[in-house]
Amino acid sequence: MTGYPVEAINLRRLFGDFIAVDSINLSVKQGEVFGFLGPNGAGKTTTVKMLCGLLLPTSGSATVAGFDIATQPDDVKRSIGYMSQKFSLYSDLSVSENIDFFGNIYGIANSRLKERKREIIRLTGLEGSENTITSALSVGWKQRLALGCSVIHEPKILFLDEPTAGVDPDSRRMFWDLIYDLAQKGMTMFVTTHYMDEAENCTRLGFIYNGKMVASGTPLEIKRSRMKGTIIELDTDSPSDALGLIREMSVIDEVSFFGRLIHAVTSVSSDGVRQTMDDISRLLQQHGIPVTRINTIPPSLEDIFISLIQQEDNRAAS
Ligand SMILES: Nc1ncnc2c1ncn2[C@@H]1O[C@H](COP(=O)(O)OP(=O)(O)OP(=O)(O)O)[C@@H](O)[C@H]1O
Ligand SMILES: [Mg+2]
């Protein structure tokens, strides 16, 4: 026993000879909001399923709530809540009936269930909507109710697999308030997402790509340790043409779109950055693309992850 609510050592999962999760290590502390990030197909759901005792690892090991995921999966399942990526409520049942349904699945006695239902209605902010048919709720409220149902049995650890995919920004913010509420009460939260604004607010992060953990730590640690070089941000009227031109410059290591802006990473020394910015402006000017703004910026998590992905792709291609 390590004392970590979630700990994985060299966890690996193959499907045939395809490596979906490649020897990842991670540990999550109690009451932490651990953000597990990665693009589509990175291996997030496969990892979560293993940690929830739903899928056996091919090799490696993990403990969740002190139980071994491979040899004690039923104890694991009893100790955790899991809001799966496809989690669905019964849309033709009312809010109250959905809570009852999940309470019954977890075998919660009726007297206790009544109390838990009141607590969950309060937690999710669904007071007054107890008898509303679930299909009439907005996506944001449905997600809150789903989270409420997944903690009906008061688990110590909650796994949420992309709980906010496709949810509008306001509802996402409200949903995250709920996540923090629960973490503050001591529940350990393991959340997968690909929204960077959500990642910025996690206690710690793990970033998975092609099944490999390519970075982990607090958002600040990751920014400090993983960003190589300086980011130059620029705005032009022809971003696609500008991107192509900048990519050809020998002093530029990476370049990508950031919304309609361009981020170019250079590893020239800090004294040389001014010169590089002038060179970019001149090059674009020569091609009839005026630069309306150019400056250096501190890296965001998104910059770092784009950079890590490019580094991994380059490694894989070489
Ligand atoms: N049962 C399976 N059989 C074969 N391949 C699978 C299986 N489950 C997942 N995979 C593959 O493993 C890889 C990782 O999938 P996974 O669902 O874990 O990714 P993810 O990070 O959750 O992606 P998303 O963001 O799209 O949900 C993908 O290439 C997927 O196609
Ligand atoms: Mg997934």
What is the rounded CA–CA span in Å between residue 284 and residue 23? 45
Cβ proximity of 79 and 26 under 8 Å: no
- Give the relative orientation of helices 239-247 and 273-286 as an angle to the nearest 10 degrees: 120
Same domain, 264 and 203: no
Same domain, 124 and 207: yes
For ligand 1, the distance from its centroid to the CA atom of residue 42, given in whole angstroms, is 7
For ligand 2, the distance from its centroid to the CA atom of residue 85, given in whole angstroms, is 6
pLDDT computed for residue 237 by the predictor: 93
Residue 54 falls inside a structural domain: yes
Same domain, 20 and 107: yes
For ligand 2, the distance from its centroid to the CA atom of residue 192, given in whole angstroms, is 8
Same domain, 103 and 77: yes
- Number of alpha helices (DSSP H) and beta strands (DSSP E) in the chain: 11, 14
Same domain, 174 and 293: no
Cβ proximity of 117 and 96 under 8 Å: yes
What is the residue with the minimal CA distance to atom 18 of ligand 1? 43
* CATH, residue 235: 3.30.70.100
Where is the domain boundary, 223, 253, 277? 223
224: DSSP letter: H
The structure tokens 């809010």 sit at 95
Where is the domain boundary, 160, 193, 223? 223
Same domain, 111 and 174: yes
What is the rounded CA–CA span in Å between residue 165 and residue 149? 18
Cα 87 from chain centroid? 17
Residue 1 falls inside a structural domain: no
Residue 171 falls inside a structural domain: yes
What is the rounded CA–CA span in Å between residue 145 and residue 163? 11
Instruction: Tell me the Cα Rg of the chain.
Output: 23
pLDDT computed for residue 264 by the predictor: 94
What is the residue with the minimal CA distance to atom 5 of ligand 1? 15
pLDDT computed for residue 53 by the predictor: 97
Ligand 1, residues at Cβ distance < 6 Å: 15, 18, 20, 38, 40-46, 85
For ligand 1, the distance from its centroid to the CA atom of residue 252, given in whole angstroms, is 34
Residue 70 falls inside a structural domain: yes
Select from 22, 36, 45 the residue to mutate for testing ligand 1; criterion: most ligand atoms less than 8 Å from CB.
45
Same domain, 72 and 144: yes
Same domain, 207 and 142: yes
Residue 313 falls inside a structural domain: no
pLDDT computed for residue 2 by the predictor: 58
Burial code (b: 16+ CB inside 10 Å, e: under 16) for 1-37 equals eeebbbbbeebbbeeeeebbbbbbebbbeebbbbbbb
Atom of ligand 1 nearest to the CA of 85: 27
299: DSSP letter: P
The range of the structural domain enclosing residue 254 comes to 228-298
Same domain, 202 and 65: yes
Strand ranges for 56-174 from DSSP E: 59-64, 67-68, 80-83, 157-161
With residue 304 as reference, give the H or E element that holds it.
helix 301-317
Number of structural domains found in the chain:
2
Select from 11, 15, 162 the residue to mutate for testing ligand 1; criterion: most ligand atoms less than 8 Å from CB.
15
Select from 22, 40, 46, 193 the residue to mutate for testing ligand 1; criterion: most ligand atoms less than 8 Å from CB.
46
126-to-94, 233, 293 alpha-carbon distances in Å: 12, 43, 47
Residue 22 falls inside a structural domain: yes
Atom of ligand 1 nearest to the CA of 44: 21
For ligand 1, the distance from its centroid to the CA atom of residue 260, given in whole angstroms, is 30
Residue 157 falls inside a structural domain: yes
Same domain, 285 and 186: no
Where is the domain boundary, 179, 206, 223? 223
pLDDT computed for residue 155 by the predictor: 96
For ligand 1, the distance from its centroid to the CA atom of residue 21, given in whole angstroms, is 9
* CATH, residue 23: 3.40.50.300
pLDDT computed for residue 280 by the predictor: 97
On whether the pTM is more than 0.85, the answer is: yes
Same domain, 207 and 175: yes
Q: What is the pLDDT along the chain (318 residues), one digit of tens a residue?
A: 458 999 999 999 999 999 999 999 999 999 999 999 999 999 999 999 999 999 999 999 999 999 999 999 999 999 999 998 877 899 999 999 999 999 999 999 999 999 999 999 999 999 999 999 999 999 899 999 999 999 999 999 999 999 988 888 888 999 999 999 999 999 999 999 988 889 988 999 999 999 999 999 999 889 878 777 899 999 999 999 999 999 999 999 989 998 899 999 998 988 899 999 999 999 999 999 999 999 999 888 888 888 888 888 888 888
Phi and psi torsions of 147, nearest 5°: -65, -45
Residue 23 falls inside a structural domain: yes
94: DSSP letter: B
Same domain, 192 and 53: yes
